[in-house]
Amino acid sequence: MLAIGKTWMAKKEESDNHEWFIIDADAHIVGRLAAKIAMVLMGKHKPTYTAHVDTGGCVIVLNCDRIRFSGNSVQHSKVPYMTTKMAKKKYDRYTGFPGGLRTRSAVETWETRPDQLLREAVRRMLPKNKLGRQMLGKLRIFVGTEHPHIAQAPKPFPAHMVPDRKVKG
C-alpha cells in the first residue's frame, strides 16, 4: 500500500525572511508589470506558497514615472509614454459624504504622484484583507533610479517574470 503524503503548509514563523527584488519600470505597461509584482508580493513564484501566510518578497520599483499604458502613442509635452488609454483612464474615490465622488484622470495623477498609478494597480490585484495590506507594505516605489534600500542587497527581478517592453512607434 502506498503511503499518502500530507500537504505541506507554510507557517507564519517560517516566513520571516523576505527576499528583496528590484525592477526598472521604464517602458513597462502598468497592468502587466503590476500583475508580476503582485505575484512576487504574494509569494506565488515560490513552491512554498500558502494562501493564508505572507510568503512573498519585497519589491523595489525604480523609474515609476516612465511607465506606460497600452494603446496608441500620443505626443505629450510632459508625459514620456502618453497613450490614448492613459488619456481616457479615470480613477474614482469616495469621500464618505453624500455627493462626494471625486474623479481624476491618469494624466493628472501622473503629474502629481506618478507612483500612485502603479501602487493602485498592484493594490487591486492583492487580496482585499489584512494580509493584502501587509503585502502592499512590502512594495517600495521610487521616481528616478535612486533608492535607499542598498543595505538589503536586492536581487534583480526574476527574469522569467519580467514582462516584455513592447513600445509602439
- Which residue segments constitute the domains of the chain, with CATH numbers given? 19-67+114-160 (3.90.1180.10), 68-113 (no CATH)
Supply the pLDDT for residue 13.
Answer: 79
Does the predicted model carry a pTM greater than 0.85?
A: yes
Grid-cell match 534583480, residue found: 156
Q: pLDDT tens digits for 112-156?
A: 999 999 999 999 999 999 999 999 999 999 999 999 999 999 999
pLDDT in tens, 49-67: 899 999 999 999 999 999 9
